[in-house]
Amino acid sequence: MGAACVGLNVSLIIHAFTNKSAFLECLWTSLSSLTDFVQYLPESCHVLFLTFDDTALRDALWMKEQIQSVSTDRKDVMSRVHISPVPVHELGNWIPSVLYSWGCNGHNCGLAQVTFTSTEWDTPVVAKRLDARYDWLMESWDQRSYSLIDAGDGCVPSATVAAAVAWVAEGNCSFFTKVQNMANSKAAGVLVYAAIGNPIQDMNCEGEDCSTPLSIPASMVHLEPCVVHALWKKQLVNVSFQITPTPNFFFGIDQQGVLAEMGWFLYPTFRFMSWQAQWFDYSWQLQERLRRPAQVVTVFNNSVMQGEGGAIATVDLRAADMVDFDMLELDASLSCPGRRDETCAHWDHTVQLFVCCDHFSPHCNMELGRWITAFRRGSGHWLTDVSPLLPLLNNGKCTFTMKTVSWAMPWVTSLYLRFSSSNHSVRHSDKLYPFKLMSLYNGGTFDKDYNKGYQPVKFTVPASTKEVEVYAVITGHGSDENGCGEFCVTSHHFLINGVFDNSRIFDSAGSALGCAARVGEGAVPNEHGTWLYGRGGWCDGLQVNPWRIDISSQLNMTGSNTILYFGLYEGHDPNPTTNPGLKGKSEVV
């Protein structure tokens, strides 16, 4: 199967269903989830649907009907969908061994269940549950046993649910309203039960409700008649919560025939499957780009990056003969100490690459590249064009240092310098080569004094210069009361000669899918945490693309010039009252 994928230049995603999972039930019954599958699945991706249950034939027909119901305008999708009527344990090939050996121990993995008990019953009742969405509900169930109290539809507060789990009917008001009312009533948690014949739904917020945190856990279950009957008769019912381990529900095979994990599905939509397939496409296209002619110099080859020093290497560049090259690209990758995502670092961190080729130069240990690590995923690989910084490599031996915060878990890094020519059809005498750098500004705390630290810089253009660029790497981190600098929209300005305003706006910062939209650029999909949200100039698991502005036409090429940088929030100087964030910058002209 892997070899076939390579030959056809397609990827394959395998999903094994079980009706014992409320998460998978919602994945398959949600109209938006099914529509996402049809709308966003790349044309290069095929999908094989399986089931763990003995009802495989019935499940196969049902899955086919579910997809066909939303694919009337996309008949081509069905040609890439393959559904097995044989349960996983009867396949007789290697697929079951992958599903079982990889196990499912991440977010929305395993079987989330609730157990109902009563002294009036001989045996407990175990039901599947789907926990409320991450966006607005941060609490999770613990191992205690709770009393269950009927709270009607939950659309008004109820004093009777204090310290108990509220049993709430679906409908008449939003899920958010139900949970908020029960939280205000001092309930320990909420169980919303679906109306008869309705599937379990994704309990999520809408609009401004999403900015209101709630302090109790909540889940949705199917209506259990014996529970309803017991509560109607005023009998005591207790509930407890558990997650039963299961085999994995998903894995993939990329265009190179390599098995791949699928990461976390944060909520029930097939969009997460599509994001992984998009990353397969990105990775394949990257391999195509890496086949282009270039002189390659190895800096790190599976080197461990950890601690204060990070990864350090000294490289002799004299053999590179860079005279004829006008392009420098960084072929960088990060992986985890083990083969599985479970060995990956638990948080996202900024990774910076510094270079020093002349210890007496003011440019010694200037930043050459910047990336952001993925959150509990290890599949990061990027090709970043840093051509304007070629003059940094102006000596025979250069020391490269790649590091992140000293307390971070280890990463394994590889880095290759790729020297090449941008346009082979242009005569050597007509090509433009970067030859001089001028350092401008560094980052700082994004508060009311942020812009006071920046003054106009005067400069003249060297003789024979044909083009002048501003090269800026800007990222926002931290979160004040406005979400700055990570989750707020900011603008960054380079004012040339007091007249020409060159601005960059991080307009996707804080948006729900701002970083998910950049999977095609190399953002690692299906990470843990809030990887989907847009950020201030960066995304988890992505290179930070330099911003380059040709300012030649804005300059006096034979006289004096000035440049001034300033950063704004909502068109004004930032002025947070608490926890000001940071702006990390590296800028040269």
pLDDT of amino acid 295? 93
Amino acid identity, position 242: Q
Q: N- to C-terminal Cα distance for the chain? A: 51
Bridge partner list, 114: 127, 241
pLDDT of amino acid 6? 41
Q: Across 404-559, where does the E strand assignment appear?
A: 411-420, 439-445, 457-460, 469-477, 490-496, 500-505, 542-543, 547-550
Top-tier CATH class for 2-104+248-260: alpha beta
Is the distance from CB of 374 to CB of 421 less than 8 angstroms?
no
pLDDT of amino acid 5? 42
Q: Please check whether the domain covering 438-589 is classified as CATH 3.50.50.60.
A: no
Q: Which long-range contacts (CB under 8 A, 24 or more apart) does 8-11 make?
A: 9/44, 9/255, 9/284, 10/44, 10/45, 10/46, 10/255, 11/42, 11/44, 11/45, 11/46, 11/252, 11/253, 11/254, 11/255, 11/277, 11/280, 11/281, 11/284
Is the distance from CB of 473 to CB of 547 less than 8 angstroms?
yes
Statement: residue 457 has pLDDT above 70:
yes
Is the distance from CB of 456 to CB of 561 less than 8 angstroms?
no
Question: Which residue has tokens 């005591």?
Answer: 236
pLDDT of amino acid 589? 61
- pLDDT band for position 430 (50/70/90)? low
When mean pLDDT is compared across 57-66, 90-99, 575-584, the lowest value belongs to 575-584
Question: Which residue has tokens 């002025």?
Answer: 575
Q: What are the pLDDT digits (tens) for 489-503?
A: 999 999 999 999 999
Tokens of 101: 């050996």
pLDDT of amino acid 424? 55
Q: Please check whether the domain covering 292-435 is classified as CATH 2.60.120.230.
A: yes
Q: What are the pLDDT digits (tens) for 2-15?
A: 333 444 689 999 99
Mean predicted confidence (pLDDT) in 29-45 = 95
Nearest to 99 by CA among 83, 87, 113, 85: 87
Whole-number mean pLDDT of the chain?
A: 92
Q: Where are the domains of the chain?
A: 2-104+248-260, 111-244, 292-435, 438-589
The reply to whether domains 292-435 and 438-589 share a CATH topology is yes
User: What is the C-alpha separation between 536 and 148, in angstroms, rounded?
Assistant: 44
Tokens of 246: 């299961």
Cβ atoms within 10 Å, residue 558: 8
pLDDT of amino acid 324? 78
pLDDT of amino acid 140? 87
CA distances from 360 to 216, 363, 430 (A): 59, 8, 32
Fold designation for 111-244: Glucose Oxidase; domain 1 (3.50.30)
204 or 416: which carries more pLDDT confidence?
416
Handedness of CA 275, 281, 285, 286 (dihedral sign): positive
pLDDT of amino acid 8? 65
Alpha-carbon Rg for the chain, nearest whole angstrom, is: 28
Statement: residue 299 has pLDDT above 70:
yes
pLDDT of amino acid 58? 96
Q: What are the pLDDT digits (tens) for 254-272?
A: 999 999 999 999 999 999 9
512 or 587: which carries more pLDDT confidence?
512
